[in-house]
Chain A
């Protein structure tokens, strides 16, 4: 028998606030006259979701913010009712939906443990048996008889986690609440969660943005997007899809952000006409592979001749960390620019950064160092790459390993 069965689950919410008396009265009037009524807009949080989870399965649930993960969990925990469709849950559900919901600030830690346990469905006897372990895990022996309102935020979160994970149930719902407290406690939390999950044949639904954790713990993953199941497959397949999609989204957002951040200032003697990114074939593009060469072509118009000025072209990240830059002043025989339209190419044999969105800046000085023009985020381009974008690095350098005398290229 399966643990969780979700059939054609759809949930709609009404957008907007409750209407006022006037609108309601008008609507009533219209209804009585048989005229159409202005309905509030509906928002489909979940759209025809179908899946079955067998007993003992550990399933990861991933998706960006607003994909419908929490709404889905709420249905599994019976907190809310579907607009249409069915949710069948066989067995008791222990929701870890939010740590410490229902802590009462005026009660002591110990009193709150009893209260919370009984809300989560434990009898007093069962709580008695567990309370020492709960306190010990939360590392609160000293403060357990102090009102929770005097706790630091870390302390109450620790207590909440400790209570929430001490519940026994057939089906565990673990929301992204795992990382609480300092590093040492976080590690403890993860261990405890993993012990819970791997424990005796429980069905677990794990919601996390931590894809690595899902890949490690789960036998299956479900990717939600805008209320639909986008993929229901082994975690490695699903996580790859998720990475691709979320990368695209990040790049889109960064480009939008960059567009708001264009800053230029200057005397007006130089007018920037166009900036193009050229790929290795010399075609203007928006995306460049990180292993290929690229050229930044700047077109500008000058009001007069400039003898041996300094043109600077550089790149920076969307958060204004300067990455590269070069100046025509470095050229041994400084070139001069004539009145009218000029073109300058800044050529790189490859751009050694991790895939992402990068920006171009341009500056122009006359030979005395007077600033004629300066602009940042004038153009953005996307760097693509085969390798995964995540990881603790910003640069993508060609690397060769040499292990026991044998060379490996990565």
Chain B
């Protein structure tokens, strides 16, 4: 594992250049440029806020728009890193057939590109926090670690997915569907506190409640979104009981995903 990271470090410049290329190409002939990067979370935030006014979601004492935006930031970063990562290998057919470098660079590049858009999201978040009068405290130092963890989760999906996609293009069709379903199984529209209340306190599903809650937290995004909101707005360190199930799943699956990718990699140029 260590040698893998070291090897990739040697290619850091290539990753950066390719990420820069992605961004440059995407916004080259667009007048609004990078502003498009924040349109998606902003629009979704507005829609969810509108929906919330009909349905009534209890967001506690944190303003709902702020809560939703803070959920959308890691969610969209994860979702787009994964879905673009899955397509990234096939999208670079010309390069793969002509020149060798470690192929895992492609999913990494997709993620690096999204990292920049996430950075712009942080500017908007800072403005919103200032507007609602929230000042981040020392718990904000958890944010980089949470983002790093999100990257590992996204890589788990995109490494496996992009390798499968070379052989079966079904993957690039199936993944967006799966991810949009996953959004409802993650505390994006509603806060995790609501899930906790329903399942743990009210035992709404009877005997199954605790099991269901564990299954829910197996989704790494549950822990990611909750702790992201927690360390920014509630001055809490991440709640390990929420994070742990997802993290264990990720730590088991990531090496498997990487191994599969490396095994499949040898035949990319023949099959793609």
The residue in chain A whose Cβ has the minimal distance to the Cβ of B94 is A101
Chain B: CB-nearest residue to A123: B13
The B-contacting residues of A in range 43-57, CB under 8 angstroms, are none
Interchain CB contact under 8 A, A118 and B13? yes
Smallest Cβ distance from B28 to chain A, in angstroms? 5
| 25 sample A-B contacts, Cβ–Cβ < 8 Å, listed by A number | A13-B270, A18-B167, A18-B168, A74-B269, A78-B100, A79-B97, A79-B99, A80-B270, A81-B266, A95-B98, A95-B99, A97-B99, A98-B98, A101-B97, A102-B95, A102-B98, A106-B29, A107-B25, A111-B21, A114-B17, A118-B14, A118-B17, A118-B18, A119-B99, A121-B101
Residues 111-133 (chain A) with a chain B CB within 8 angstroms:
111, 114-115, 118-121, 123-124
CB-contacts of A267-317 with B (<8 A): none
Task: Assess whether A107 is in contact with B269, with CB atoms less than 8 Å apart.
Answer: no
Known: A79-B100, A102-B98. 20 other contacts (CB 8 A): A18-B167, A18-B168, A74-B269, A78-B100, A80-B266, A80-B270, A95-B98, A104-B25, A107-B21, A111-B21, A115-B17, A115-B21, A118-B18, A119-B14, A119-B17, A119-B95, A119-B101, A120-B99, A121-B101, A147-B28
Binding site for A on B (CB under 8 A): 13-14, 17-18, 21, 24-25, 28-29, 94-101, 167-168, 266-267, 269-270
Q: How many A-B residue pairs have CB under 8 A?
A: 66
Interface of B is mostly: helix
Count chain B CB atoms within 10 A of each CB in A13, A80, A97, A104 and give the residue with the most: A80
- Docked Cα-Cα span, A111 to B17, in Å, equals 10
Q: How far is the CB of B69 from chain A (nearest CB, A)?
A: 31
A362 within 8 A of B: no
Partner of B24, one of A101, A107, A121: A107
Closest to A81 in B: B266
Select B21's contact among A13, A104, A123, A124, beta carbons within 8 Å: A104
CA distance A97 to B266 in the complex (A): 18
Cα A233 to Cα B253 in complex, Å, equals 53
Contact with B along A86-97 (1 / 0, CB 8 A): 000000000101
Contact residues in A for B17 (Cβ distance below 8 Å): 114-115, 118-119, 124
Specify which chain B residues have a CB less than 8 angstroms from the CB of A13 in the assembled complex: 270
A120 to B28, CA, bound (A): 24
From A80, A102, A118, contact of B94 by CB (8 A): A102
Chain B hits for A74, CB < 8 A: 269
Q: Which residues of A contact B97 (CB under 8 A)?
A: 79, 101
Interface flags, A217-229, vs B, CB<8A=1, else 0: 0000000000000
The answer to the question of A77 belonging to the interface, with a C-beta cut-off of 8 Å to chain B, is yes
